[in-house]
Structure 1
């Protein structure tokens, strides 16, 4: 027997009474931990923490698989209610660490006190933690033998992730499997299937890993399945789905490093604008210069004549295009937009479409409004822009624009392809201080470059400013909390990745159809994969 088989047999014998019937061979086995013992619940919380370690800035991408495999395996023979508890504890570990930066935003910059900030952060973590719980609960409720649940887990998991990432509160796709795999073999599937398709293959890998502990005699076949998925993904990573056209562009991204608690003070407004202008004028040798989100701490109509109009003329004289983020007023009274404009050779305006819930608008009124008022929290109130705005141009090419949180949604970019030659994201992550959020956000933005096969220019206020290649790799990156100008070269790209052609709907439809088919086969007792002795006691 190989060492791996010995280790698996030891774990299976001493800890997993839920996998199959094991005859006691010595009295000490009477003290084995029952699968519904509370210790397994605690380990589920720890598994949720381990899951988050796969994402930036920790970047231990392999951690996703044992964490999910544990959750799937440990819930195999639990009742739906106990699975719900275990899934919720997993979610608390996952989001408790993964979105802990909410506290910094609310407490340090949102004006909330200690109790109010903890309360809001707890609500946020608790709400999103429900989704892993829903996934394992729904799986436990599905008809059929318990042995078939391992096949259901990846499918149900990804359907629930789709609801979380695209539907509920207009979507919160943070900490979804595929984002942790950008530097891993499974990233090869992203230009073909997108984040949800690659995420499904990640969940399948975790289920196969769990299957090794359930049926160690099938280790060779299950391991071969994992290796095959990863080998194909590794080969696909070498494919180039889009190609460059036109001349390279020299670009400069300005990172002003303006503290969030000083940014909107009247006494610092002029000095902030002048700082960005000075940093821009030092790079007239670039063809495109981009500023971060809300770099101008005033509304467009208030600063255009004294500051931006002269800058526009100067940029045009130097044959440079400027990309400047500045809030603007609408034609109707009280209408405000989070906007981005172009100056220089091309003039245009983009108004943010996908607003941030609880940051730029208030869902769930009047309850959410009462909470913010009760805890004295400050909030911007913006209006979403039209979904059919024309593409802006800079450097002689059209580009896809996203402001801050919009880069978390692939569909915002896909309908503008193949016309767009590159991507631009203007962001202000100063709201989250020196936390893990800026690195997570950059990881999400990299996904959009890989999905579309386009270069990405990501300009941020305090970091992390970066230039990303069409294969999702960071070419240049500025450190957090430094005042700097990041300069590099990009190529305009043309063509479409397979994912850019099909989007998410076919992948989600396939998952739903496959789940329905398996349910029908299981109900008719025609499928017996991962068969376990049904006489094994709970």
Structure 2
């Protein structure tokens, strides 16, 4: 629709702006499905250095613009001025990306913390079986009791597969153990509590105890897994949506970070880590990033590896260390450049030992988010439309 032979430069810029717009829309509509934006392809590529500047968004924009400019080069050659500008726009991100790679945008905020991330490798068909509850609680307890003494012990999403208020005795035992070890213990556990209207609701949550404190309620829920979009309309209309399924409530928007050993920890539960803007909001108010997940849903597919790649991008965007604890892999520790420093193999039971360094300071992306790029794209689209109208009147 926008492609015009008389305006090849405006055409290329408009295409890049529209490409970014559709990625943003996909991450917002019906709470969003921001899975695998184009920019993730550059995590280990030459454009990775742009992530701290403008996030995965800037990389996606640069890729779309590069592709459109390459397609339009023959038309740009007709006008030398446009060709020169086009070549500058084409080369700039591919020069800037390597130039900014490994630049230290953040600084250490304290001493290194030792970490033990426990991977239980519980099969999905056993995860919520009441007959397996005691076995799962004993599994995480025993793996932690036999682990080396560390500053921070992390269990994955819903490692305690029973409501928090029904597991107080067990949590009390682990709390005393963590305090005796001088450790903070963070685990996933579902929570039942009243919302602001006094209604009793269920939440997917993380809680911290021992030398830590705080409970975080998940905000970004998985469509059709944890809740049904447009539930009031769909239930009764389509038979499938009348089946019993998860009905978690969304946690409030303003929640403080978790605390562990005196440091602020930005918590992401499973799917939340794939939202760039949401993740940046929490990261800006923390020194360490943490994501817990149960990727057993993916089976042996490529899904867990894609999920890990997006978590790596969040660490790179924020310039912070990230701990990723999962039920069956990939359990890893990621450095501020998005590189995996410690990892456990998939589908194995064990404890991952590693270290993280609390970081302070904001990358340009954490400070400005998507707004500069969004304004630029709005201006580019306006220019493209104006150029089209002017061409028609000539």
Same fold (TM over 0.5): yes
1:280 is the counterpart of 2:155:
no
In 2: Cα distance, 1:483 partner to 1:380 partner: 27
Q: Match for residue 312 of structure 1? A: 175
In the comparison of the two structures, how many residue pairs are matched?
388
Q: Match for residue 348 of structure 1? A: 214
1:363 is the counterpart of 2:229:
yes
In 1: Cα distance, 2:72 partner to 2:209 partner: 58
Q: Match for residue 490 of structure 1? A: 356
Q: Match for residue 132 of structure 2? A: 268
In 2: Cα distance, 1:526 partner to 1:507 partner: 29
Q: Compared with structure 1, are the counterparts of its residues 349 and 162 closer, same or farther at alpha carbon in structure 2 (3 Å cutoff)?
A: same
Between Structure 1 and Structure 2, which shows a larger proportion of helix residues?
Answer: 1
Q: Show CA shifts across 1:91-131 (max 9, x none).
A: xxxxxxxxxxxxxxxxxxxxxxxxxxxxxxxxxxxxxxxxx
In 2: Cα distance, 1:479 partner to 1:417 partner: 27
Identify which of structures 1 and 2 has the higher relative contact order when contacts are C-alpha pairs closer than 8 Å and 6+ apart. 2
Q: Shift in Å at residue 237 of structure 1?
A: 0.8
Q: Which structure 2 segments of 5+ residues have no match? A: none
Q: Compared with structure 1, are the counterparts of its residues 308 and 371 closer, same or farther at alpha carbon in structure 2 (3 Å cutoff)?
A: farther
Q: Shift in Å at residue 376 of structure 1?
A: 7.3
Q: Match for residue 178 of structure 1? A: 39
In 1: Cα distance, 2:257 partner to 2:386 partner: 47
1:439 is the counterpart of 2:305:
yes
In 2: Cα distance, 1:319 partner to 1:371 partner: 54
Q: Compared with structure 1, are the counterparts of its residues 409 and 496 closer, same or farther at alpha carbon in structure 2 (3 Å cutoff)?
A: same
Q: Show CA shifts across 1:244-273 (max 9, x none).
A: 121111001111100111111111110011
Q: Match for residue 514 of structure 1? A: 380
RMSD: 2.7
In 2: Cα distance, 1:464 partner to 1:213 partner: 46
TM-score in terms of structure 2 length: 0.91
Equivalent residue of 1:459, what SS?
strand
Q: Shift in Å at residue 412 of structure 1?
A: 2.7
Which of 185, 189, 213 is residue 326 of structure 1 equivalent to?
189
1:249 is the counterpart of 2:113:
yes
In 1: Cα distance, 2:11 partner to 2:98 partner: 29
In 1: Cα distance, 2:84 partner to 2:210 partner: 62
Alignment of 1:71-470 (within 5 A): 139-140=1-2, 149-165=11-27, 167-212=28-73, 226-305=90-169, 307-331=170-194, 332=198, 334-370=200-236, 373-374=239-240, 378-416=244-282, 418-470=284-336
Structure number with greater Rg is 1
In 1: Cα distance, 2:230 partner to 2:25 partner: 18
In 2: Cα distance, 1:249 partner to 1:207 partner: 46
Between Structure 1 and Structure 2, which shows a larger proportion of strand residues?
Answer: 2
Instruction: State whether residues 157 and 188 of structure 2, in contact with CA within 8 Å, keep that contact through their aligned partners in structure 1.
Output: yes
Instruction: State whether residues 159 and 512 of structure 1, in contact with CA within 8 Å, keep that contact through their aligned partners in structure 2.
Output: no
Q: Which structure 1 segments of 5+ residues have no match? A: 1-138, 529-538
Q: Shift in Å at residue 390 of structure 1?
A: 1.8
In 2: Cα distance, 1:345 partner to 1:227 partner: 50
In 2: Cα distance, 1:260 partner to 1:377 partner: 19
Q: Compared with structure 1, are the counterparts of its residues 259 and 372 closer, same or farther at alpha carbon in structure 2 (3 Å cutoff)?
A: farther
